[in-house]
Amino acid sequence: DSGVTQTPKHLITATGQRVTLRCSPRSGDLSVYWYQQSLDQGLQFLIQYYNGEERAKGNILERFSAQQFPDLHSELNLSSLELGDSALYFCASSVGVSMIGGRAAGEQFFGPGTRLTVL
Amino acid sequence: GQQVMQIPQYQHVQEGEDFTTYCNSSTTLSNIQWYKQRPGGHPVFLIQLVKSGEVKKQKRLTFQFGEAKKNSSLHITATQTTDVGTYFCAGTLGNAGGTSYGKLTFGQGTILTVHP
């Protein structure tokens, strides 16, 4: 158990719909990252938040948006869903500051993922 | 954009054989991390390499970071069935920032199958 929780575990929806994926980082972690994993695209970085602010953006579509709330949990919103959006969506968290207690601050702890199926 | 290439895509070995996966970046990396994802699971952090030419060992696993900080490798000695899974390298480009580590660019992963 990484300490990162994601809900829901599975989500089945139709094209054109909108869904929200939720992530709670490990206690004390300030950075949250979202990734998309599909069979043919590997693990693709979508976006990073640090202490409520967007810090880095990857290959995130305009139909997708995310935010990190004051309690540090994060939500990924996917709208106008297409068949190609079917994938496993992972959230990860990290401390987000330089070496703490000798542990590499860049280490990311992944949640169990949300499997999204768009029909 | 920054790309991290990883080879091979698949590797089948007999239990007891060695295994190596290679990672190459188109740009110099600030650091490189390695993750393992078991079938049906999520990526789990294995190690981070920061220094040029760095070599780190974890039991049967040996990790190397190239002198130019553009390539890395993971070598497993005498594979076991518990080693099955996908091994990913992930690089951070340039300055990681004073208070936050930026995005990781993941390689495509090497899927390791170990036949007993």
Distance to chain B for A29, nearest Cα, Å: 11
Question: Which residues in chain A are closer than 8 Å to B86, comparing Cβ atoms?
Answer: none
Q: What is the pLDDT of residues A40-75, one digit of tens each?
A: 668 999 999 988 999 888 889 999 999 999 999 999
The counts of H helices and E strands in chain B are: 0, 11
**Largest distance between two CA atoms of chain A:** 47
Query: How many CA atoms lie less than 13 Å away from A63 in the CB half-sphere?
Result: 12
pLDDT at residue B97 above 90? no
How far apart CA A18 and CA A39 sit, in angstroms, is: 22
**Residues facing residue B74 across a β-bridge:** B21, B63
Q: What is the pLDDT of residues B24-71, one digit of tens each?
A: 998 899 889 999 999 999 999 999 998 999 999 999 999 999 999 999
Q: Which of A48, A104, A112 sits opposite B42 (nearest CB)?
A: A112
Res. A119 pLDDT band, cuts 50 70 90: very high
Segment A23-46 shows an average pLDDT of 90
Residue of B101, B103, B105 for testing the chain A interface, max A β-carbons within 10 Å:
B101
pLDDT of residue A115: 97
Q: Could you tell me if A56 lies within 8 Å of chain B, comparing CB atoms?
A: yes
Task: Return the closest-CA partner of residue B109 out of B12, B2, B6, B40.
Answer: B6
Q: Which of B101, B106, B108 sits opposite A105 (nearest CB)?
A: B101
How far apart CA B73 and CA A27 sit, in angstroms, is: 32
Q: Which residue of B has its CA nearest to A111?
A: B42
